[in-house]
Structure 1
């Protein structure tokens, strides 16, 4: 019969103990003639969520020692497990010797030793050790293991120090190291070497990356990655820092290679900080030494770089934002001086509710575009706009469910134009407007729980521009879509506004299935008094009668989404089509896009664009995952880029193999083929294996 025997002091800092009493249960407890306390038979000690079991425990008050007979098992709160055959330790369990010990750290790394010496309540010295995170099956050697003459585990720094260590694969020695330090799996950040990466390209040859991670405190770190190949000597770096009110991240590289005459470098940095008063400060920096550097080293596919700083404040009824942006082009056929390279904007928007349910809206803004080119005309024009808007809006809901929205307002702008004789140096513009929108949602509920909504929508709008016609800098690429079907002006910016009487009509059908299948279809069109040549032909908005907008979306359970939009002209048929599909669950991650656009000389597009892209990942099994990505130019009948990655993972090893090809070429970017391979072993914070197949112990 088991019974509650006594309370003992049980301390072991490795497992997060502090001096306190613990409950001990045993089949029998007796006090010998010489004063020793003996507990025998299914001995169990409990301290919080920590549990110790042994077959026999003897306490000798003269030597102040505890003798434990195995099998001994200690299960700590953090998941660490310690087993031993015998133990001779002090009552605090801070110093002692354990025979036939085994430690399992974070349910990942197990270390087996002939003997474990506990010292100073901090260090565990293990002799004749074998460490692995792989499953051990009888006498069969694990997939990998590290054998060492001695291993020291520091509980405070959470580091493992190996002496005279050998790395073995299926029992065969591969690497010998006299000394080695590795973080234990409970440590998330530690200075040391990260997983090496092999990279092989047709331009840079066979190369090796050796990332080294440096902790600079709890909130900062630096990663230095030497990249060495026959064609380059490169040092990559990354710096990260977290603040109480934001973060800073910067990365870059320096290269000396055979592809370019001189030193090459790039810098990408970003930061975001919450300031007092509700303001948010954000910035990003993008810079490179030459146009082909980012692509050659696969750092980025961007062909325009933008560096910006912004300040924003958002409240329930106010929005303030200002932004300064510097653009740098990497395109062969484009000059940075004529982009324009410097763009600045400042805006303020406020809303105030009236006593009758109406809303007053007021805005003020300042925009500037500056070109460093001195050429007169579009390539050298500088522009400054200052303006404001005031408007009123109110909604009415009729008894039959119809929603009527009335909006009226006016805006005034002043433009300063330089280096373009086609426009006045100072231009004034005043634009009053009015808008009336009707929506009539009709709802049907089926017995099975499906809900269908048919919503006819109609709009009647008017606007007129008085004064000068300024140049259009910020609204050169606008297309008809679901978001601007009922907008008063469909120009994306503030430099251009739609004028005259216009009407828009559409129909939105939505179905919300009882089993999670939701469908939406939108059809609409815009009618105006006259055509507007400021819109491009492929925008769907150039003619007095716009193209037909047909758009739809399907959302299903299991992470499936399909979205499509198209513009149809009465005479020429399809002008624009774009679609995307995403699907994500435990076995598949899929993202695919397709776009089709007809030729449009006003958008510098002499040829048809027809292109699809795919980015996907498939879990073939618990161990195998394949990644596929591709981009194909259907109009030119040629691939643009393609890549494949294969990963094999089990409980103790991860191996990644990849290959990619970029087919596109220009004067600064050449076709490149890249092969890569990397691997990591689980059980250490630098290479922990999450999930994956657990190998069995079958014959």
Structure 2
């Protein structure tokens, strides 16, 4: 006898026996249930004496989308029970899997006992695990796990005996299927195998649930003015597409705070509403006169009206500009400290075939120390329309090419004009925060074009611009690319400047030389000074500027043994009329002028619509690219711009002096360069620079480098900008930033960063008037001295991250912008602990380590500051 023959003979009755076993199992199920049961096994044995049917050898039973697999399955005909033994695996209809050495079930798999079970559910990326010494399935509704443990972490492949990174252990875990909830009795939370928390009772959604009502992880915080803070969010599911989160907070120093968040997902979009409110027990810690009831509102939404049109909003507003900082809401990074604002917008946008329309409005609430709210403009509406139209030469008498239509209309209004001193910044004498213009020697107000800039209008300014342009690209037989173009630009604007209204700051000093014994210095910021900068008011202005030009490029390709090299000389000339004088022109949206490689070949290098180039200008340069395949990629550019004829608009400043000191304000511009090299995807280097055309002196430099070397990531950023006193930057600005991250072992990492302000020491000599001596002589005090390598911010952190947990501890130390008179520079120091557990939630605890400084005296002494619109 051979094994092959024996196997074949044994296989003949197997099908019949398996079918009989299936019939017997099906009979044990609900008689009303017509679902078939399929059974596969290597061998089936009937025992009429014991009334059992035994299937052995790779047993697989399929029933109602459930699968039972085992080495041996015994069916007890009298009781209808099923006993599975040896490598038992039960897969439920929802995909969850239970492993055990021994499992006892009812014939329909709805009830049963499992010894030493392990249950797995979810897919490969969201898998969870449940273990228990004994599991009892009471019915399809309830399963009880005795001495159970739940985790979303995978076991260590090399050391499966080790505890998972985290787990919830309990004396009893009850799973309610219809409620989709796990109930824990006498629970302990373990982290890295160490018990860190005990809870007598706990409930969590089961892993299959995305949204379920219940308590979320608590919120913890500390700040000296607020004390310790504890918040307990409660999440309530209104419907599958709508939910609410309510979070009552309690601060040991300030009492109760309430947070409310509502979210609604629509078929064609979403919207949210967040409300925060606090009734302070001790408002005086934030300064005498601080309000008691404070809070903020945040709302976002986006609704697709159809496939092309979308309506949306992003609104945030606080009761006062200090709320975000006082209650640690929003951005607390270095950039957030220096450039902070609550920005609100509402919009409707449409996107079509090579065109778009965007209509929106903005409102800003300043949060920085130097922000004076009446100076911040509300901008509504802003209308932008752009359309590209291709012309078929066959239908346009051979013209062809492409037409672009660009439209903009902007209305801006503010209660108070915004000024900035030319040269060294001057701040109000009361708080040393708000920009004023004065004669430093006499400490008297001086708002003229010679010593002051008008940054923003107090009043209303409307501006509409229409530009139509045409261009077509030609390639000659030599490969030269010729692009002729023509355009016409029309602007109509209306200025209604408010000549009334002022903010006044004052400071009184003891002065024995006066009859009263005191001297009061006053710093006004008045709208009436605007007349010194703008030539017209309450009337229309505008311009029409046609122009034409030609661009030439000649890309030269060369193949080398390691790649392809392209050298491309570029030349461009643009002719326009001189246009109107600009010295008294309002400029609100074109103040960000940086001459570099990105705008060298732009027809208009201004950043907005309020300014436009004039005269005849030529731009030329060359760019180089080298694709070295496995050796990386390199590119470079160098170029220059020349005012060939007519008036150089960059040398004729507006009310904000934009154009001066830009490198374009002379007949032959500075040189602009760019160099990029990336030897691989793990390394990159880019630098941009501007050099003086006369002596190649460095005027502007931006450098960044990034490297990933195995587990180590490193980045460097450096900036160096020459002084530009004529536009308000009296000293060189310079900064250096380093950041790194090192991935230790498999899941552990450390990281750190530091940013140096290398230009702060340039202000060490600035003096502030602090009083008078007995003879009436003014007394000055220097600004706080700063070292060459003044640290603006630095931080460090350590953490652990894998498929089920993110654990981090970080420290941050950042300098604040100045406050007081003379200004004081405090440091914000904070520790943030963050623990995120997949399927359970996250805990984030920001802890402030430094006393909170009242950074704005205007809320502590209203008599020294008033705003009269």
Q: Which TM class, normalised by the smaller chain length? A: 0.7 to 0.9
Task: Quote the residue 2:521 is aligned against.
Answer: none
Task: Quote the residue 1:645 is aligned against.
Answer: 797
CA distance 1:631–1:298, shift in 2 (3 Å) = farther
Q: Does structure 1 residue 440 correspond to structure 2 residue 456?
A: no
Instruction: Report which of the two has the higher share of strand.
Output: 1
Range with bigger deviation, 17-26 or 254-263: 17-26
| Separation in structure 2 between the aligned mates of residue 140 and residue 497 of structure 1, nearest angstrom | 70
Task: Quote the residue 2:415 is aligned against.
Answer: 372
Q: 1:555 aligns with which of 665, 669, 678?
A: 678
Q: 1:618 aligns with which of 742, 750, 753?
A: 742
Report the 3-state secondary structure (helix = DSSP H, G, I; strand = E; otherwise coil) of the residue aligned with 1:515. Answer: helix
**Gapped runs of 5+ residues in structure 2?**
1-6, 394-399, 419-446, 448-453, 498-529, 761-788, 844-869
| Separation in structure 1 between the aligned mates of residue 190 and residue 416 of structure 2, nearest angstrom | 65
After TM superposition, give the deviation of residue 408 of structure 1 in Å: 1.0
Q: Does structure 1 residue 498 correspond to structure 2 residue 613?
A: yes
Q: 2:811 aligns with which of 647, 652, 659?
A: 659
Q: Does structure 1 residue 291 correspond to structure 2 residue 321?
A: yes
Query: Normalising to structure 2: TM-score of the pair?
Result: 0.71
CA contact (8 A) 2:175 2:183 kept: yes
Q: Does structure 1 residue 451 correspond to structure 2 residue 564?
A: yes
Task: Quote the residue 1:461 is aligned against.
Answer: 574
Q: Does structure 1 residue 415 correspond to structure 2 residue 534?
A: no
**Gapped runs of 5+ residues in structure 1?**
689-699
| Separation in structure 2 between the aligned mates of residue 676 and residue 618 of structure 1, nearest angstrom | 19
CA distance 1:465–1:651, shift in 2 (3 Å) = closer
Range with bigger deviation, 617-626 or 32-41: 32-41
Task: Quote the residue 1:254 is aligned against.
Answer: 277
- 1:29-178 to structure 2, matched below 5 A, reads 29-30=45-46, 32=48, 36-45=52-61, 52-75=68-91, 80-106=96-122, 109-131=128-150, 133=153, 135=155, 146-167=168-189, 175-178=197-200
| Separation in structure 1 between the aligned mates of residue 638 and residue 703 of structure 2, nearest angstrom | 16
| Separation in structure 2 between the aligned mates of residue 583 and residue 36 of structure 1, nearest angstrom | 69
Report the 3-state secondary structure (helix = DSSP H, G, I; strand = E; otherwise coil) of the residue aligned with 2:324. Answer: helix
Task: Quote the residue 1:517 is aligned against.
Answer: 632
CA distance 1:675–1:209, shift in 2 (3 Å) = farther
| Separation in structure 2 between the aligned mates of residue 290 and residue 79 of structure 1, nearest angstrom | 52
After TM superposition, give the deviation of residue 120 of structure 1 in Å: 3.1
Task: Quote the residue 1:430 is aligned against.
Answer: 544
Instruction: Report which of the two has the higher share of helix.
Output: 2
| Separation in structure 2 between the aligned mates of residue 130 and residue 112 of structure 1, nearest angstrom | 5
Q: Which structure has the greater CA radius of gyration? A: 2
| Separation in structure 2 between the aligned mates of residue 405 and residue 554 of structure 1, nearest angstrom | 29
> How many residues are treated as equivalent by the alignment?
683
| Separation in structure 2 between the aligned mates of residue 388 and residue 515 of structure 1, nearest angstrom | 48
CA distance 1:550–1:238, shift in 2 (3 Å) = farther
Deviations along 1:572-616, whole A, 9 cap, x unmatched? 711111133345688455554322212223433222211133454
Deviations along 1:96-155, whole A, 9 cap, x unmatched? 233443323448654333432223323212234344557497988777654434321133
Range with bigger deviation, 503-512 or 385-394: 385-394
Task: Quote the residue 2:462 is aligned against.
Answer: 384
CA contact (8 A) 2:105 2:113 kept: yes
Query: Normalising to structure 1: TM-score of the pair?
Result: 0.87
| Separation in structure 2 between the aligned mates of residue 384 and residue 18 of structure 1, nearest angstrom | 76
Range with bigger deviation, 332-341 or 570-579: 332-341
Report the 3-state secondary structure (helix = DSSP H, G, I; strand = E; otherwise coil) of the residue aligned with 1:666. Answer: coil
After TM superposition, give the deviation of residue 159 of structure 1 in Å: 2.0
Q: 2:266 aligns with which of 237, 243, 258?
A: 243
Deviations along 1:207-265, whole A, 9 cap, x unmatched? 44544444343333444445545444444554443322223345464343654332332
Superposition RMSD in Å: 3.6
Range with bigger deviation, 435-444 or 234-243: 234-243
| Separation in structure 2 between the aligned mates of residue 366 and residue 655 of structure 1, nearest angstrom | 49
- 1:202-601 to structure 2, matched below 5 A, reads 204-233=226-255, 234-251=257-274, 253-255=276-278, 256=280, 259-260=285-286, 261=290, 262-276=292-306, 278-296=308-326, 297=328, 299-300=330-331, 301=336, 302-356=339-393, 357-373=400-416, 379-419=457-497, 421=531, 422-424=534-536, 425-448=539-562, 450-466=563-579, 470-515=585-630, 517-528=632-643, 529=645, 531=648, 532-534=651-653, 535-571=658-694, 573-583=697-707, 587-588=711-712, 590=714, 592-601=716-725
After TM superposition, give the deviation of residue 452 of structure 1 in Å: 0.6
